Amino acid sequence: MCEECGIHEYEKPVIAVCGKGGVGKTVFSALLSKVLLEEGLKPLLLVDADPVGGLMSAIGEYAVDTLAGVRDRFISEARRGGKTGAGEAADQLDYFILKALVERQNYSLLAMGHNEEKGCFCPANKLLKNAIDGLIPVFKGVLIDAEAGIEQINRDITGRVTRVIAVVDGSKRSMDTLAMVVNLVGSSHVSVVANRVLTEVVLQLPEGVDLLGSIPENDVLRQFDREGRPLWQLPPENEALTAVRGIAKALVLF
C-alpha cells in the first residue's frame, strides 16, 4: 500500500473516476459501469459521489435517499437534543446508510447528494469513505464517479481505491486537473482516458501515467445525453461503448 495516499495495489478493483467539470466524466463512468457488468464484475457498487449528482440519471436510476440526507438527519436530531448512545447511534447510522443504498440484482448504487444542514458532525466525505469501506466486502468491485474537481481525490474517499482514472478532453484546464491529481496520489496510481480529443492532438501526460484509450465524438451518445435517455440503452455496437470496452480490457480487471 502507498504510505502517503493509502492506495492499495492488490485488492478487488475500487476505481475512482475524476476530471474537470464538462470533460465527460459521468458519461464515461456510466459506460464503464455497463461494460464492467457485461464482463461479469458483479455485484458491482456504483457510487455517485458528485454532490450535484449525474451518474444516477445517466444510467436511468433515481435515489430516494442520499448520504448527505443521512448526515442532515443526524445533525437535526442532535440539535433537538437526542439522547441516543454512541453504540445505538452507530447502529442507526449503518441502518440509514443501507436505506440510502439502491439495490438491484447485479449492482447497487449509493448517492452522495447535497448537504442542506450546516455543522461538523460526520462530514459528508468522511461518511462516504466509511460507507464505502463498510460495503466493499459485499461487492466484487466499486466504481466511484467522483466530484468534478479534486477535492475527494485524497484520503477523504480514496483510502481503498486501487485506480484513479482521470478523464481529459485535451484542454489546458483538464490537463491541469490531471497534474493536480497525479501530485496528490502519485503517477503509478493514475490512468487517463481521453474524451472527445481530436486525433491530431498529442496529449502530454505526466511521466508514469498511462493512457487507457480514447472515446471518439459520437452523435448517438450526444443525442442520448441531450434527451436524458439512460446511456445503458445505447446500441451494443455504438462506437463510444466499443471504445470503453477496450478501455476496460486495458484496466486488466478480468
* Residue 135 CB contacts under 8 Å (≥ 6 apart), including other chains: 45, 101, 108, 110, 142
Q: Where are the alpha helices (DSSP H) in the chain?
A: 25-38, 55-58, 67-79, 86-100, 124-135, 172-185, 219-227, 239-250
* Residue 242 CB contacts under 8 Å (≥ 6 apart), including other chains: none
The CATH class given to the 14-67+101-117+127-250 domain equals alpha beta
Beta bridge partners of 195: 215
Residue 100 is predicted with a pLDDT of 84
Query: What is d(CA 146, CA 158) in angstroms, rounded to the nearest whole number?
Result: 10
Residue 49 is predicted with a pLDDT of 87
Q: What is the mean pLDDT of residues 70-86?
A: 65
Closest CA to 153 of 178, 136, 123: 178
Of 59-73, 141-155, 170-184, which has the strongest mean pLDDT?
170-184
Query: pTM score, two decimals?
Result: 0.86
Summarize pLDDT for 88-131 with one digit per residue, the tens. 556 666 777 788 899 999 999 999 876 555 554 456 667 777 78
Q: What is the mean pLDDT of residues 196-207?
A: 81
Q: What is the mean pLDDT of residues 203-227?
A: 93
* Domain ranges (residues) in the chain: 14-67+101-117+127-250
Query: What is d(CA 81, CA 54) in angstroms, rounded to the nearest whole number?
Result: 35
Closest CA to 17 of 202, 215, 203, 208: 215
Higher pLDDT among residues 10 and 215, named by residue: 215
Question: Residue 3: is its pLDDT beyond 60?
Answer: no
Residue 6 is predicted with a pLDDT of 43
Task: Quickly tell me which residue has 446508510 as its cell.
Answer: 97
Query: What is d(CA 76, CA 165) in angstroms, rounded to the nearest whole number?
Result: 36
Q: Phi, psi at residue 234, to the nearest 5°?
A: -60, 145
How many residues appear in the chain? 254
Q: Kindly tell me the sign of the dihedral angle through the C-alpha atoms of 143, 147, 148, 152.
A: negative
Cell numbers at residue 95, please?
Answer: 441502518
Task: Quickly tell me which residue has 501526460 as its cell.
Answer: 205
Query: What is d(CA 105, CA 113) in angstroms, rounded to the nearest whole number?
Result: 23
